[in-house]
Amino acid sequence: MDVPFPLHRSLSCTSVSNAITHLKIKPILGFVSHGTTSLSVQSSSWRKDGMVTGVSFSICANFSGRRRRKVSTPRSQGSSPKGFVPRKPSGMSTQRKVQKSNGDKESKSTSTSKESEISNQKTVEARVETSDDDTKGVVRDHKFLEDEDEINGSTKSISMSPVRVSSQFVESEETGGDDKDAVKLNKSKRSEESGFIIDSVIREQSGSQGETNASSKGSHAVGTKLYEILQVDVEPQQLKENNAGNVEYKGPVASKLLEITKASDVEHTESNEIDDLDTNSFFKSDLIEEDEPLAAGTVETGDSSLNLRLEMEANLRRQAIERLAEENLLQGIRLFCFPEVVKPDEDVEIFLNRGLSTLKNESDVLIMGAFNEWRYRSFTTRLTETHLNGDWWSCKIHVPKEAYRADFVFFNGQDVYDNNDGNDFSITVKGGMQIIDFENFLLEEKWREQEKLAKEQAERERLAEEQRRIEAEKAEIEADRAQAKEEAAKKKKVLRELMVKATKTRDITWYIEPSEFKCEDKVRLYYNKSSGPLSHAKDLWIHGGYNNWKDGLSIVKKLVKSERIDGDWWYTEVVIPDQALFLDWVFADGPPKHAIAYDNNHRQDFHAIVPNHIPEELYWVEEEHQIFKTLQEERRLREAAMRAKVEKTALLKTETKERTMKSFLLSQKHVVYTEPLDIQAGSSVTVYYNPANTVLNGKPEIWFRCSFNRWTHRLGPLPPQKMSPAENGTHVRATVKVPLDAYMMDFVFSEREDGGIFDNKSGMDYHIPVFGGVAKEPPMHIVHIAVEMAPIAKVGGLGDVVTSLSRAVQDLNHNVDIILPKYDCLKMNNVKDFRFHKNYFWGGTEIKVWFGKVEGLSVYFLEPQNGLFSKGCVYGCSNDGERFGFFCHAALEFLLQGGFSPDIIHCHDWSSAPVAWLFKEQYTHYGLSKSRIVFTIHNLEFGADLIGRAMTNADKATTVSPTYSQEVSGNPVIAPHLHKFHGIVNGIDPDIWDPLNDKFIPIPYTSENVVEGKTAAKEALQRKLGLKQADLPLVGIITRLTHQKGIHLIKHAIWRTLERNGQVVLLGSAPDPRVQNNFVNLANQLHSKYNDRARLCLTYDEPLSHLIYAGADFILVPSIFEPCGLTQLTAMRYGSIPVVRKTGGLYDTVFDVDHDKERAQQCGLEPNGFSFDGADAGGVDYALNRALSAWYDGRDWFNSLCKQVMEQDWSWNRPALDYLELYHAARKLE
């Protein structure tokens, strides 16, 4: 029976008899220089006459050149090193080769054979087998000599050490008749380097062996079983008679072999120099030196040895599986795997006992599973019936290197399962990935997949865009062709009319010689000077063209007087233009731009037909083609300019957003900031915190509490971390590793590890976005319920906020819907895809719902059939309270009946304030429990009672600037709710107010050419309003003329500017007639006294407002109170410097160049204007005088300030981030 055993470690076979004798096979330590050596060793007792009995080992070694290794070969004390002695030739090719090599080496024993240095490796094979013929399998290449120093009666160790065939082998003579059956150990030189591998062990029961000396020490009788030699305890049931009548051992022989092949069998000395050896190369029988032909017998021997080894391994595997099957069957276990220890990146065979399974009656058995708790690489495969005792079925599964466990169930391919009683089957993978490493691996895989999908999506979009471009270009080409055809037809009609009037014959005023000519001919054109208005002209010129002046003025020639013709005739030579059907000309007394008198044939011009012109049809075909080419070129230039502008706009928006995000991250630097500023997923980040500016000021310890993804990360909150002092003053710091699936970093600070006082940013927590993560923030669903929306139903700033805020939040990948009344006065031309959506009933009234897109936003229009919103206006009805109350209730009912479940319902001002309490009282427990209410106060002057009730019921409330929120904090409807009241500055729409794409200004400009753009706009404004065209400081005022806007301060500023030799332009009107009349009188006074430097336009003019923002140097906003204010923000968008009073949103957005540098830096900004405190003339003078002086005294500095304010972002980019934080804080509330 063949018994395979692995060859990956040192190997020793121990044979034991009644006396303890060991046979050790030493590990591979070197190689024969070249050639193939076959050794036959009979292991048992060694007799004086050299005869050997017992187990016969046939060792076949195929050697190749290898690097030398210095080894120390252990041996018994007193024994001398023995070597292999080459035998005389016996006719084999391998023997002849070895002998020839040895003969060549004798003359140069100290040198290394060239062949021994060949790098080609050959397989080294060995075979150990028992034989009933004492000469069977012995190859007579060499003799293994008997150890002559045998010590009788003592434990003897005979070492089969690695040897090397070389010129150092000692020659020996034949030893008689027994030479061929025995080898003698020689006391001569032992080879230092050699190696062999035992590939297979063949155990055969032998009865024909010669007489055995059973009493000899270290001997075994012929037929001794291998398990006896290996000292394996054998149970009776492990012996079984085979078909041939031989007794086979069924026990763990391989295990015993592995146990006795320990690394300790090789003894190393400190001087050992053993290089790494690729054992796999030993089995590659095809690695043969190219210059040394291999005998056919050697190849056959190698193939046979390899087959034997594989057969032995298969037998060992089969025996191990049979043993496991028997053991599990006896214990009633229906599942096992082989190998028993499952490792990653290897195959495992899974066995199921169908008879013990719920699938015992099924003809098909399949396995369905995956790895790592069903999260990785699913698989399904069919099991096959095995030869094992019992109803065992099996299949092989490859275990990936990322696995730490395998999970699976069995089924019949349909609906019958064995899932381990609902627990599923699982196998632990030893040495596999750690769970946390696998989590990170999955995240990396997800990130790579997302990148791949993003690239594929980008490519699809590119191809789709290219296809759209191609189709659009085809349509435009057809349109150009049609236009060219139409224009050619019009020209053809005109030319034919002119050709009728043209003449071919001689005229008393002019004629052409010769009378017959064609294109490109040179002719003489004669003119009778005395016949027309140029009779007294000193010089005569012809100004001409052709085909109704097709190419403009193309013929300019001076005439000279003809000497050979009687009369006052003058002439010039003219070359007839190509493609000319007829000529056009007039006579003049000078060249173009210098002529005074003309003879133009009584305003009809002169025309002469070209007699031999090209065929008309050919001409008009060519003309149409030329028109088409011209249209194509014009379109190409137009599209290129448009494309460049779009790309520039997109770049500016991107750069602005990046600056805004940086400003957002730096806005709290006096309290907290990070290094790096932009946190990247998968990296480490250090958080710096300054407790001196918080509620934790003076605390001896600061603890950092952190998590990710709005406190919802799979890892949960990280353990509290004590912060250590930083190098920069009062700051402390902590460092954390950001996971790959983070999109937001969340943290708070506390005074102790177990809590105590917290700094949680007034309940909002600190949040910093994480970039580059594999996970994206889940989108929120926000619904605005409002009665205004720009531009379809805009009355005041509320409509602007609803539209612009919604667009900005939607641009941040959240879902936004707007619910609006369907007024009969809507500007429907701004609604796209308008269609009927549904209808429902509430309050006894049918309500029709319409859907449309406004500025890219989804809008639901509610149209109750009771006529409440068919009044022709938004506000101004006597029952506005009833109208808007009904709308609020109907909007909530629409959400409920429509199955909406928004995260946030955002209502605005008194008009939609009822949403807050109606929701809490009637809808919280009826399907909308997930939603939270956010309420924004735009104007506290109207509906205070409704606003107060909404404040009570809202989850979060805002107003339009932080300073205004402080200014109204004492109001009775606000004061009880300060804990949930926040101020967020409004923004402006950067698409409406965009100097790069503004059609109302003469030159588009950005911060890069702000001086050029504003200079052109100022000149255009001065021309438009009739002001003096001069380089003077221009102050613009765009406002409603009310007391809130500081009309008394406006009047004073106008006079003060004129006193400083500046110019003033005011645009606005007053709702109060008395105020309006007052400003009409002021306008009359100013226009009469300062007509070239003052202009008051007492109306509203949208185009003019754009021109004032661009052309003015300063924009004045002296409001008494201003919740937010958009005028100063728009002014900075156009590079105009704001001059404002410090109140509300004006204080939050304008930072004085002389006094607010530190305050601006805390907001991540630079100073951007001039401001004053008081509400009197002195305050206005203080700010306005500094502004005008800066313009007069430091124009370069002033121009740089204009550039600086243009680069500041006052769009909704930053407010949208603040609102999102507020929305998330509202969602956390119970």
Between 1206 and 224, the higher pLDDT residue:
1206
Q: Which residue has the higher pLDDT, 334 or 65?
A: 334
| Confidence check: pLDDT of 574 > 80 | yes
Band of the pLDDT at 953, cuts 50, 70, 90?
very high
What is the average per-residue pLDDT within 746-774? 92
What pLDDT, on the 0 to 100 scale, is given for residue 1189?
A: 96
**pLDDT band, very low/low/confident/very high, at 851 (cuts 50, 70, 90):** very high
CATH code reported for the domain at 668-771 = 2.60.40.10
Residue 1007 tokens, joined: 């911060």
Q: 755-759 and 744-752: which strand pairing?
A: antiparallel
Per DSSP, the three-state class of 579 is coil
| Mean of pLDDT over the chain | 80
Please say if the pLDDT value at position 207 is more than 60.
no
pLDDT above 70 (res 206):
no
Other CB atoms within 10 Å distance of the CB of residue 153: 7
Is 184 one of the annotated binding-site residues? no
pLDDT of the residue at 636: 92
CA max distance for the chain: 161
The helix/strand/coil state of 398 is strand
Q: What pLDDT, on a 0 to 100 scale, did the predictor assign at position 440?
A: 84
Using DSSP's 3-state secondary structure scheme, residue 441 falls into: helix
The owner of tokens 């004669």 is 526
Q: Give the closest residue to 911 by CA, choosing from 940, 876, 946, 941.
A: 946
1197 alpha carbon, distance to own chain's centre: 42
Domains of the chain by residue range: 1-306, 332-433, 505-610, 668-771, 781-983, 1007-1211
Structure tokens at 606: 């002169």
Tokens of 1214: 């930053």
Q: Name the CATH superfamily housing domain 781-983.
A: Glycogen Phosphorylase B; (3.40.50.2000)
CA-CA distances (angstroms) from residue 367 to 381, 384, 417, 424? 6, 11, 10, 11
pLDDT in tens, 866-903: 999 999 999 999 999 999 999 999 999 999 999 999 99
User: How much is the average pLDDT of 829-838?
Assistant: 95
Buried b / exposed e across 796-806, counting CB within 10 Å, b at 16+? ebbbbbbbbbb
**1174 and 1190 Cβ atoms separated by less than 8 Å:** no
State the DSSP H helix or E strand holding residue 1034, giving kind and residue range, or none if neither: strand 1034-1038
pLDDT in the model for residue 941? 85
Quote the tokens at residue 467.
Answer: 């296809």
E strand or H helix at 660, and its extent?
A: helix 616-666
Strand, coil or helix: 43: strand
Give the DSSP per-residue string, 1058-1098.
Answer: HHTT-EEEEE---SSHHHHHHHHHHHHHHHHHSTTTEEEE-
- What is the percent of the chain where pLDDT is above 70? 75
CB 348 within 8 A of CB 338: yes
Give the amino acid at 66: R
- Which has the minimum average pLDDT: 35-49, 446-460, 513-527? 35-49
In this predicted model, what pLDDT tens digit does every residue of 443-461 receive, in sequence order? 888 888 888 998 999 999 9
Q: What value does the mean pLDDT take over residues 757-766? A: 92
Confidence of residue 504 (pLDDT cuts 50, 70, 90): low
Q: Are 1181 and 1167 in contact (CB under 8 A)?
A: no
Strands 1094-1097 and 1063-1067: parallel
Question: What is the pLDDT averaged over residues 487-492?
Answer: 91
pLDDT > 60? residue 688: yes
Residues contacting 728, CB < 8 A, separation 6+: 688
Helix locations, 812-920, DSSP H: 880-897, 909-912, 914-918
Q: What does the alpha-carbon distance between residue 153 and residue 133 come to, in Å, rounded to a whole number?
A: 28
CA dihedral sign, ordered 9, 10, 16, 19: negative
User: Cβ contacts of residue 574 below 8 Å, gap of 6+?
Assistant: 522, 523, 524, 525, 542, 544, 555, 557, 583
* Cα–Cα distance for residue pair 1088/1062, rounded to 1 Å: 16
Runs of H (alpha helix) within 812-870: none
Q: Which CATH superfamily hosts domain 332-433?
A: Immunoglobulins (2.60.40.10)
Residue 1033, token pair as written in the block: 């400081």
- The answer to whether the CB of 559 falls within 8 A of the CB of 541 is yes
**Tokens (6 digits) for 197:** 């591998």
Cβ atoms of residues 200 and 64 within 8 Å: no
Strand order from edge to edge, sheet including 981-983: 832-842, 845-854, 857-864, 815-821, 781-785, 904-908, 932-937, 956-959, 981-983
Q: Which residues contact 411 (CB under 8 A, 6 or more apart)?
A: 359, 365, 366, 368, 417, 418
Determine the Cα–Cα distance for residues 965 and 311; give it in Å rounded to an integer. 88
Beta carbons of 31 and 124 less than 8 angstroms apart: yes
In angstroms, the Cα distances linking 1011 to 998, 1004, 1195, 1230 are 16, 11, 11, 55
Contact 1225, 956 (CB under 8 A): yes
> Distance of alpha carbon 684 from its chain centroid, rounded?
19
Is residue 493 a contact partner of residue 536, using CB atoms and an 8 Å limit?
no
**Element containing residue 348 per DSSP (H, E):** strand 346-353
pLDDT reading at 95 higher than 70: no
Query: Which amino acid appears at position 881 of this protein?
Result: G
What does the radius of gyration of the chain's CA atoms come to, in whole angstroms? Answer: 51
Query: Is the per-residue pLDDT at 722 higher than 70?
Result: yes
pLDDT at residue number 112: 38
Asked whether residue 1052 carries a pLDDT value surpassing 90, the answer given is yes
Count CB atoms within 10 A of the CB of residue 843: 11
Measuring CA to CA, how many Å separate 534 from each of 586, 603, 608? 11, 15, 20
- Structure tokens given for 986: 């409004």
Which residue bears the tokens 């379109």? Answer: 635
What would the mean pLDDT of 409-415 be, rounded to a whole number? 94
- Name the 3-class secondary structure at 350: strand
At residue 226 the predicted structure's pLDDT band, cuts being 50, 70 and 90, is very low
450 vs 865, which has greater pLDDT? 865
Supply the pLDDT for residue 1002.
96
Determine the length of the chain.
Answer: 1230
Gap between the terminal Cα atoms of the chain: 77
Summary count for the chain: helices (H), strands (E): 22, 54
Is residue 2 predicted with pLDDT exceeding 80? Answer: no
Contact indicator for 523, 583 with CB cutoff of 8 Å: no
pLDDT value for 506:
62
Residue 149 has a CB neighbour count (10 Å cut-off) of: 12
Residue the block writes with tokens 């050896």: 277
pLDDT for position 563: 85
Residue 713: predicted pLDDT: 93
Q: Please, are residues 691 and 733 in contact by the beta-carbon 8 Å criterion? A: no
d(CA 1170, CA 1180): 10
Q: Over 60: is that where the pLDDT of 681 sits?
A: yes
Mean pLDDT along residues 128-144: 37
pLDDT at residue 174 greater than cutoff 90 = no
Fold matches, 332-433 and 505-610:
yes
Placement of tokens 């380097």 in the chain: 193
Residue holding tokens 């019009």?
A: 490
Neighbouring C-beta atoms of residue 1167, cutoff 10 Å: 21
pLDDT single digits (tens) 55-91: 333 333 443 343 444 333 343 333 333 333 333 433 4
Q: How high is the pLDDT of residue 299? A: 58
- What tokens were used for 479? 């349109």
| Residue 341 pLDDT exceeds 70 | yes
Does position 1209 have pLDDT exceeding 80, yes or no? yes
* Cα–Cα separations (whole angstroms), residue 321 to 315, 999, 1161: 10, 85, 76
Q: Greater confidence, 743 or 112?
A: 743
pLDDT band at 565, cuts 50/70/90? confident
CATH architecture type of domain 1007-1211 = 3-Layer(aba) Sandwich (3.40)
| Structure tokens belonging to residue 994 | 């965009």
- Long-range CB pairs of 449-457 (<8 Å, 24+ gap) are 450/774
Q: Which two tokens stand for residue 1174?
A: 């008081």
The class that CATH gives domain 505-610 is mainly beta
**Helix 616-666 × helix 435-501 angle, to 10°:** 150
User: With 0-12 CB in 10 A as exposed, 13-18 as middle and 19+ as buried, what is 750?
Assistant: buried
pLDDT of residue 515: 87
The one-letter amino acid code at 672 reads V
What does the DSSP assignment read for 451-466? HHHHHHHHHHHHHHHH
The token pair at 283 is: 């089995």
